[in-house]
Chains A and B, each alone.
Chain A
Amino acid sequence: MSALLEKPLPSKPWQPKPKNLIPEILGALFTALSTFLIVGFSPLKGTLGFTVVLIIMAVLTASVVSGLRRDRKAAWNSTTTVLVYVAAAFVVVPLISLLYEIIRKGVGGFSLGIFTKDMSLSASDSPLSEGGLLHAVVGTVYLVLLASLFSTPIGILAALYIVEVKGKFAGLVRFFVQAMSGIPSIVAGLFIYAIWMINLGNSYNAVAGAMALAILMIPTVARTSEEVLKLIPTDLREAGLALGATQWRTVAMIVIPAARSGLVTAIILGIARIAGETAPLLLTIGGADALNLNPFSGNNSALPYYVWKNYGLGNELSIQRAWLGVFVLMIVVFIFFSLARYFGATKDRKGK
């Protein structure tokens, strides 16, 4: 009896046993050691030499080890495995370098004072304690708000047209919205310059910049909203229609409230997409060193513009200012990025 009651231990025969890991650990050790030796005793030097030797040695070791243990196919498999890992590492390296440099170069000039002053009374090569980027922050806030105001209705209506109304041109609209997301930002800027300044005779202001940004934001909002609306179960719509509601009431009272957090995510993703756009602003907002609280008239500034301008001025202190601008800009982008992920995550949890 007792033999019957004995529970068999769960066994996972597919998982590698510690014994199987020995060749791999030995291989890794060999790779590291040989790399150090080769870099130490040959003319190859520096990070580049080290990286190249490491990759070659890793590929060699992996393929030789599995080639000896099994066959040529296994050797080739190991080679490609190492290469795939190398590719993934290549993606991580630039991002880490980028974030590290932004923090290292940007954090130095960072103080709360920069949010209270603009550059109207400071020269570009004055120390960083003088002046600030209040005008740029205000400009970016205006641009983001106005661009959202312009693009949200169009983006969400386009999504509703594709998903809810399913009109004659739904496929066409979908296709063109996809293609629209590939419009170069400079073309959006040129277009607004052409229509708003040349043909309608207005001058630089924040509204023009916001219109250019809205063109870039519409596809993001439309495509994300479309995905979100598609996730709303058809049962909800049918329930609404079965109760005698018109399509308008069904969409307004059932579908949109159900998709609300997703639609918010769509807008925030769109904002994250445009908050750092520079090229269209160079052609539309004119740039300013002083705070301009009126988005409807007069030159304005923006964070990316501030970075661009100070980079272009080219003296040591203005380049420090540019990095400071990058630092603040990245904080803004990351706030929207995190918000989008937060809302996106809550939507997923509800779905489950």
Chain B
Amino acid sequence: MSITQTPKPRVITSEPRFSDKVFRAVVTAGGLSSLFILALIAFFLVYNGFEVFRDEGLKFLTGFDWIDALPDEGLPASYGLGAMLYGTLVIGLLAVIFGVPVAVGTALFLSYYAPEWLKKPMVLIIDVMAAIPSVVFGLWGYFILMPHAEYWAKLIHKYLGFIPIFDMPANAFSRSPFIAGLVLAIMIIPIVTSISREVFAQTPLDRIQAAYALGATKWAMIKAVVFPYGSGGVIGGAMLGLGRALGETVAVYTVLNLVYDIRIEVLLSAGGSVASMIVNKFGEADAVELQALMAAGFVLFLVTLFVNFIANIIINRTARKG
């Protein structure tokens, strides 16, 4: 009885085991859930704000009024986000104008100027700034910065008042877009600085040394090598900062006076911010106004998502080049 049974040939397969299939399914579900959440946010804001979008149409973006319906007097509701959108853009741009030069200077300082012993504490300072909650910035901005900033605004008005944007139709310097821009500038400095620093760190060392070897001063080197390499990243960082500034709520609420009007005077105590307006109106909103707020939230969501998309595309492209 010598039966030689050849064992069945082992099946060689790249088919993952059952446990791996489960593992991959779970991880994929987890990974895609962030996309799912974003989609849910968009869906539920649109779903709840749908009627306002339908009734107002494009006027929702361009109109200036935010008036609740007065059924007793037969007045319909009218919701327009135009003034708030404009105001949001103004304070966001002011924040970028004030904040980005300082942030880029700080990034340059950390990358090329600072002595070794100063680098670590300086990075710590930037990290601490990034960790401070916005409500704290709001309180500080209102109670501490505002008295100083009002004085600065008065000086600017006194000496540059002939320029239309620094003109003052009324003597009201507090809670202006100028001050909100200053507070936002301080809040976006950490992120712009850290992105710029990351980008500057990727500047090829041989180019830097080549510039020095050709006798360039430090600034000439930065202008010839660092900026051309890092400009994309700095722009991306600035846009990321802009995105943060556009969506900032609580800090802006404390230092900005919301007025439903488009004014070019940035020193005047009248500005707008979609995010702050939502908080401002939320407390006393009826069902219809709540829908308008949802619609406003959707617009804000789209705007910030768009700015962030562009910023991330620019940053990723710059980072890959390095």
> Which residues on A are within 8 Å of B, measured CB to CB?
48, 73-74, 76-77, 80-81, 83-88, 90-92, 94-95, 97-98, 101-102, 153-154, 156-158, 160-162, 164-165, 167, 169-170, 172-173, 175-188, 190-191, 194-195, 198-199, 215, 218-219, 222, 246-249, 251, 272-273, 275-279, 282-283, 304, 307-308, 311, 319, 322-323, 326, 329-330, 333-334, 337, 341
Contact = CB atoms under 8 A, between A and B. Distances in A.
Nearest to A79: B219
Q: Is the interface of A mostly helix, strand, loop or mixed?
A: helix
A307 B301 contact: no
Given A173-B31, A183-B305, A194 B131 contact: no
Most buried by B among A176, A187, A307: A187
Given A176-B38, A248-B22, A304-B135, A158 B294 contact: no
B129 interface: yes
Most buried by B among A87, A102, A157: A87
* Size category of the binding interface on chain B: 35 or more
A91 B106 contact: yes
Contact of B136 (A84, A102, A198): A102
A156 B24 CA distance: 13
A153 B31 CA distance: 10
B30 A160 contact: yes
B121 to A, nearest CB: 9
B140 A97 contact: yes
A326 B129 contact: no
Given A87-B108, A95-B125, A156-B30, 14 more contacts: A86-B105, A153-B30, A160-B30, A160-B31, A170-B31, A172-B35, A180-B34, A184-B275, A186-B249, A187-B297, A248-B23, A276-B133, A307-B135, A326-B139
A247 B34 contact: no
A184 B17 contact: no
Nearest to B21: A248
Given A179-B308, A246-B20, A304-B133, A218 B219 contact: no
A91 to B, nearest CB: 5
B246 interface: yes
Contact of A76 (B22, B106, B137, B219): B219
B240 to A, nearest CB: 7
Contacts of B45: 187, 190-191, 194
Contact of A329 (B133, B143, B301): B133
Nearest to A333: B131
B203 to A, nearest CB: 16
A333 B136 CA distance: 11
Nearest to B49: A194
Interface string B235-251: 00000100110111110
5 contacts: A97-B140, A164-B27, A167-B28, A182-B243, A272-B131
Contacts of A251: 23
A175 B31 contact: no
Nearest to B109: A88
Given A179-B305, A218-B37, A199 B48 contact: yes
Most buried by B among A183, A272, A329: A183
B214 interface: no
Interface in B114-167: 114, 122, 125-129, 131-140, 142-145, 148, 151-152, 155
B113 A154 contact: no
B201 to A, nearest CB: 15
A240 B28 CA distance: 21
Nearest to A176: B35
Contacts of B210: none
Given A84-B105, A176-B38, A251-B23, A187 B247 contact: yes
Nearest to A311: B139
Contacts of B34: 154, 158, 173, 176-177, 180, 218-219, 222
B288 to A, nearest CB: 13
Interface in B10-42: 16-17, 19-20, 22-24, 26-35, 37-38, 40-41
A140 B114 CA distance: 39
Contacts of B135: 276, 278, 304, 307-308, 311, 326, 329
B238 to A, nearest CB: 13
Contacts of A277: 133-134
Contacts of A278: 133-135, 249-250
Contacts of A307: 135-136, 139
B133 A73 contact: no
B250 A308 contact: yes
A275 B133 contact: yes
B133 A180 contact: no
Contacts of A334: 131
